[in-house]
Structure 1
Amino acid sequence: MPQPTDRLAVPPEAAASASGLPDLAPAAEAAASAWPASAAGGLDAAVAVPAEAARWTLDTLRDLDPVLGLAGLVIVAVLAGDLVQRLLKLPRLLGWMAIGLLAGPPALRLMAPADLDPWKPLIDLAMGVLLFELGSRLRPRWLIDNPGLALQIGASALAAGGLVGLSLVALGAPAGASALVAAVAMSSSPLIAMALLHASQPRGQVTERLLMASAFSSVLAVLAVQALTVLAPPLVGGAGATAAESGWLPALLRAGMVLSGSVMLGLAAALALDALTRPVRDAGTHAVLQLAMLVVAALLAGGWKFSPMLTLLVLGMAARARMGHRLSVAPQLGSAGAALGVLLFVSLGLLSTLDGLATVWPWVLAIVLARALGLSLGVLGTARLSGLGWRQAGALALALQSMTPTALLLGLGSYAWTLGRDEAEQALWQALMIATTLMQLLGPVLGRFALAQVAGEVSPPARSPGPRAGPPASPAVPPAASPGAAGPLPAVPQAAAAGPLLGAPERPPTRA
C-alpha cells in the first residue's frame, strides 16, 4: 500500500489519476478563482469541498495499516450481515462476503489480496476448524452401506468437471489449463455448506448428503489437481515444477503420495489427540488441545506437500471414530468462533474479483453453466440408485452449486500469487476466479432456498408464547427420509451447540 511520504512526493493531479478517481484539482482551482466574482462561485466552491473531502477520506483509508483495516471491515461486516438477515431474509455470510467484495479491488480498493498476509494464520485456522468439524460429522461407512451415494458423488463431480473442460476447449481455451480449471470446478464448497448448517440448522437426507458430497468432491478435486500439475504446467506460479513431466505414471504417483500421506498424517494426528486428551478432564483444555493439533497437522501437511484440507478432514473423521462422545468440537470458543467465521468470509470477499468480466465473459458463462448442468445430471441421474426422490435430488443439485477456492487458499504461502505463464492462461485463470466469485455469492442463496423451500429440512424458528397464549406447541418433527434411503439418522437437536462456527451436535453412538 502507498506510504504517506510517497503520497506527499506526488502532485495532486498524479495522485488523483493513480487512485482511479476523477481529477478534481482543476474544478477546485476554478471555483476558488470565481469566488469573488459572483455568488454562483460560492456555490461551486461549496460543491467542490465535499468531493475533495471524499477523495481525502478514501486515500486515508487506503493508507491504514492492513491489520487495522481488516479489523474495521469485520466490524462493518457484522452489522451488514445482520441487516441482510433481518431485511432480506438471506444468510448472514452473504453480507460478510459482500462487504469484503466492496472493500476489495473491484470496488473501493481499500485493501488488496496481499494485505491479508498478516491475517493468514487466523484465516487458515478458521478454515481448518470448519474442515475439522465437517470431518467429525461425516460417516464414511455410509458410502459402503449405500454404494449409490458414492456413485452419485463421483458422477456429479466428474460430470461437472468434464463438461467444464470440454466447453472451455470448444471455446478455444488452452487444453492443459482447461483441464486444471475443470479439476477445480469438480468441487463444491465445504465452507459454505458448514456455514449454512450453522445458520439454518437443517436436518435430513439432503443436508447429510450435502456435507458428504462437498467433502468428498473437494478431495477428488485436490487429487485431480495434484495429478494434472505433473502432466500440465501449473496455473499458479511457484506451486511446483516449472516444466511438465511426461507420462501418466508420475501423475499417478504424485496423486497417490498426496492421498496416502494426507490420510496417514490425519490418522496420526487423531491418535495423538486421543492420547493427549485421555488424562485431561477439563473441557476447556480439550478445546486448546484440539486447536493446537489442528495447527500442527495443517502446518505439517503444507510443509510436506500434502493436502491440508484432506488431512484435516481425515483428522476429524478419525478423531470422531476414536474418541466418540469425548470429542466436543470446541464449543468453549463461543463468540471467538463467531469472529473467526466473519473474518474468514470477509477475507473470501476480499479475494474475489470481477476484473476483466467484459473480456472473458464467454469463458465465465461456460464454467458456470457447464458446471451447473454437470452437477444436475450427475445428481438426478443417480437419484433412484442412491435412494433419493426427485424433489430431494433437485434440492441437492441446487445446494451443491457453491464454490470457494478452499484447497488453493490452504496451500498458498501468500495471497499475492502469480497467475499463469502467458496471456491465454492468465485470462482463463481470471475467468475461473470470476466464476468462483459469482457462485460464492449465489451459493448461500441457492443453498438456503434448496434446504428450506425445496427439501423442507429447515424448521421455522420457535416463537415465544404471549402472556395469554395457550400451551406451547410440540416441537417440529424433522422431515422423514425417503423410503429406501440408506444413511445416518437426522442429527439430534442443536440445543447444546454453542457458537455459530464451532458448535456441533454430538452424534449418538452407533450400534455394533
Structure 2
Amino acid sequence: MQALLPILTSLAWPFAIAVAWIAGEFGQRWTGLPRISFYGLVGFALAGPQLGILPSADGGAVPMLADVAFGLILFELGYRINLRWLRTNPWIGISGLVESLATFLAVYLVATAFGTPQLTALMLASLSMATSPATVVRVINEQRSSGQVTERVLHLTAQNCVLAVFAFNVVVGFWIFRTFDNLGDAIWNSLVVLAVSLLSGAVFGLAVPALLRAIGNPRQDATVAFALAVILLVAISYAGGLSPVVATLAFGLVARHRRVAFSQAQRGFGALGELLTVLLFVFAASTLDWQKVAAGGLLAVVIVLVRLLTKTAGVMAFAHLSGITWRKGALAGVALAPLSVFVILLLEHARMAGVHVVEQLRSVAAVTMLLEVFGPIILQRALVRAREVTRPAPEVKHAA
C-alpha cells in the first residue's frame, strides 16, 4: 500500500479533471447551467480539506498550468476589446470607473463594520472591484452570446481587472511596510508595475503579428503562435515580478489592433483552451477550505449583495448616456457578479511573493466559493434576460 501512494497521488489531478469535465457535461445537459459551476463544485469537494483526494498544488506544475489557462483567457478578453468604441462612447469607461470605486468604498465600509482590521478590509475591497474574466469569457463563449450587454460586460470586466490589480498592489505595499507612511511609495511601485506590465504586453502585441506576417500565413498559424507567446509572457511576468493579468490583457488588446484576426475555429484556443479551463476552475476551487468558508459566511453574503448592488447601480446610472436602456444597464451590472478565479489567483501570487494574507481573509474564501458556483449562473441568467444568447440549432435526424 505504501508503494501505491506516490502513484495514486500522481493520478489525483488527472482524475479530478476528468471527473470535473464529466460533471460539467452532464450537469449542463440536465440543468442548463454553465459547466464551470460544476467544475468548481468538483474541485472544492475533492480538495484536501474536504475529501482529501487532491494533494496540495504548491510548487508543482498545476499552478503554472492554471496561470497559463488564465493568461489565454485574458489574451482573448483583450483581443475582444475595441478601444475605438470606448473613445467614441466614453460613458462606458466612466460607468466602469464609478462602479469600481463605489464597490471599493462600500465593501470597505461593510468589512470595517464587521470588525475587520483596516488593511484586511482594504485588501478585501480592492479584490471586490474585479470581475473574473475567466468566468465571463467562458460563459459568453459557451452561450454564444452577442449584443450590447455582452460587449459592455467584456469591456467593463477588462477595466475592472486593471483597476483591481492597481488597488491590490497598493494595498499589498501597505501590508509589506505595515504603515501608511509609505503611501506614495506603494502607489508609485504599483504604477510602475502596471506600466511595465502594459509595455511588456504591448511589445508582444506588436512582435507576434509582425512575426506572423513574416511567416506569410497569419490566419492558419495564429492560434499556436499566440498560445506560445502567452506562455512565454506569463513566465516573463513571474520572473520580473510583473502582473501577468495586465500583461496578457495588453497583449491581446494590441494584437487585435494589429489586424491579425482569429478564425471561428480558433476562439478559446480550441481543445487546449477547453482542457486548461477545466483545470483552472478545479484548481481555483481546490484552494478553498470549508472551515474558512463557513467562518466567513455571513460577511461573505453581505459583501456579495453589496457588490452586486453597487455594480448594478453604477452601470445603470450611465445607461442612457452610454446609449442603452435602464433595463440593459441593470443587466450589464448584474452580469459583473463573477469574481472567484481572479481573486484566488491574485491571492496565490501574493502568497508566493511572501505576503501571507490568505489566513486573515477568511471571508474571501466564502465569497469566492459563493461566486464560484453562483457567479456563472447569475451571468448566464443576465445574458438570457437580455435576449443575447444564441440558441443552438436543433439536430436533424435522418432516416436510416
Does the TM-score normalized on the shorter chain lie above 0.5? yes
The residue aligned with 1:273 is 208
- Percentage identity across paired residues of the two chains: 27
Q: 2:12 aligns with which of 45, 51, 69?
A: 69
Q: Which residue of 2 aligns with 1:349?
A: 285
Match of 2:290, SS state, is: coil
Aligned position for 1:4? 2
| CA shift in 2, pair 1:417/1:249, >3 Å | closer
Contact between 1:180 and 1:228, CA under 8 Å: does it hold in 2? yes
- 2:187 counterpart (244, 247, 252): 252
- Contact 1:74/1:343 (<8 A) preserved: yes
Distance 1:443 1:112 in 2: 26
Structure holding more helix per residue: 2
Write the mapping of 1:301-380 to structure 2, written as runs, cut at 5 A: 301-325=237-261, 330=266, 334-380=270-316
Correspondence for 1:264: 199
CA distance in 2, matches of 1:188, 1:250: 27
In structure 2, distance between residues paired with 1:332 and 1:190:
13
> Taking structure 1 as reference, are residues 245 and 444 closer, same or farther at Cα in structure 2, changes over 3 Å only?
same
Aligned residue runs from structure 1 range 464-475, under 5 A: 464=395
Unaligned runs of 5+ in 2: none
The CA deviation at 1:181 is: 0.8
2:273 is paired with a residue whose SS is helix
What code does the residue aligned with 1:104 have? A
1:237-290 deviation digits (Å, cap 9, x = unpaired)? xxxx45446143212211220221111111111122122212213555433322
- Residue 136 of structure 1 and its aligned partner are, at CA, apart by 0.6
TM-superposed CA distance for 1:336, in Å, is 2.7
TM-score by length of 1: 0.72
What do the CA deviations read for 1:13-68 (whole angstroms, capped 9, x no partner)? xxxxxxxxxxxxxxxxxxxxxxxxxxxxxxxxxxxxxxxxxxxxxxx8x7655442
What are the equivalent positions in structure 2 for 1:474-485 lying under 5 Å apart?
none
State the alpha-carbon separation in 1 of the partners of residues 66 and 396 from structure 2.
41
- CA gap of 1:331–1:442, structure 2 versus 1, over 3 A, is closer
For each residue in 1:84-106, what CA deviation from the matched residue of structure 2 results, as whole angstroms up to 9, or x when unmatched?
Answer: 11111111111111111110145
Structure 2 residue 222 is the aligned partner of structure 1 residue 286: yes
How many corresponding residue pairs?
A: 398
Residues in 1 aligned to 2:188 and 2:122: alpha-carbon distance in whole angstroms: 18
Does the aligned pair in 2 maintain the 1:229–1:244 contact within 8 Å? no
The equivalent of 2:114 in structure 1 is: 171
User: Within 5 A, what are the aligned runs for 1:11-50?
Assistant: none
Q: Residues 131 and 326 (structure 1 numbering): CA distance in 2 closer, same or farther, change over 3 Å?
A: closer
Instruction: State the partner residue of 2:47.
Output: 104
Counterpart CA distance in 1 for 2:256 and 2:144 is 20
**How far is the alpha carbon of 1:413 from its aligned partner?**
5.9
The 1:182–1:446 alpha-carbon spacing in structure 2 relative to 1, beyond 3 Å, is same
Partner of 1:94: 37
CA RMSD, 1 decimal: 2.8
How far residue 212 of structure 1 moved from its aligned partner, in angstroms, is 0.7
- Which residue identity is paired with 1:440? E
Q: Does 1:441 align with 2:373?
A: yes
Give the alignment partner of residue 135 of structure 2, picking from 187, 192, 198: 192
| 1:331–1:383 CA distance, 2 compared to 1 (3 A) | closer
Partners of 1:298 and 1:419 in 2: CA distance? 20
2:227 aligned partner, one-letter code:
L
Cα distance change, pair 197–462 in 1 and its aligned pair in 2 (3 A): same
- CA drift of 1:333 comes to 5.4
Check if 1:404 corresponds to 2:332: no
Give, in whole Å, the separation in 2 of the partners of 1:99 and 1:128: 23
Say which structure, 1 or 2, has more relative contact order (CA 8 Å, 6+ apart): 2
Question: Max radius of gyration: which structure?
Answer: 1
Q: Distance in 2 between matches of 1:414 and 1:174?
A: 18
Work out the CA distance in 1 between the residues paired with 2:112 and 2:343: 24
Are residues 251 and 413 of structure 1, via their aligned partners in 2, closer, same or farther at CA, if it must alter by over 3 Å? closer
Which residue is equivalent to 1:26?
none
Provide the rounded CA distance (Å) in 2 between the counterparts of 1:298 and 1:332.
17
CA distance in 1, matches of 2:212, 2:353: 39
In the other structure, the counterpart of 2:167 is: 224
Q: Distance in 2 between matches of 1:279 and 1:328?
A: 23
